[in-house]
Every structure is written in C-alpha cells, then in structure tokens.
Amino acid sequence: MINMIPVTSSNIEAVGYNEQNEILYVRFKGGKSYSYERVPLCTYDEFMTAESIGKFFNQFIKNQYVTRVESL
C-alpha cells in the first residue's frame, strides 16, 4: 500500500511516490487515481514543493509519462 500525502490543490487530493520503482501516484478530488511511470525522484520533489501543485502537474507530469488508472 502506497502512503498518500494530502496536498493543497483545487483538483488534486493526495500524492504518493514509490521511490524504488519511480512511480508517482495522484488521487484527484473527483475520486479517480492514476499512476505515472518512470518519474524521477527530483521531479516528485519539485512537484511536492511547487507553488501550485496543479500547474506543476499540468506542465510537467500530465501527458509526459506512461499513465495507468489505479484503485487506491
């Protein structure tokens, strides 16, 4: 089970990261969850410290990595 960290965002509810496998998990406020493969740790760190989680997601993660629907 991945540890999901709540974030402050109008669209994203929580984020998790599996460092060993470089998989980013994102749960949206609508209830859907996705995983993003081969996301480097530095990108995850930047994502979690971004001034706007949503803007960072849209600019640097969405449509940039292999994406899978998850049931978290």
pLDDT of residue 23: 98
**How many whole angstroms from its chain centre is CA 14?**
8
2 confidence band (pLDDT: 50, 70, 90): confident
Q: What are the residue ranges spanned by the domains of the chain?
A: 5-70
**5-6 β-sheet, strand order:** 5-6, 12-18, 23-28, 33-37, 67-70
72 confidence band (pLDDT: 50, 70, 90): low
Dist CA 55 CA 12 (whole Å): 11
Dist CA 19 CA 9 (whole Å): 23
pLDDT digits (tens, 9 = 90+) for 15-69: 999 999 999 999 999 889 999 999 999 999 999 999 999 999 999 999 999 999 9
Tell me the pTM. 0.94
Our CA dihedral for 15, 32, 71, 4, rounded to 10 degrees, sits at 20
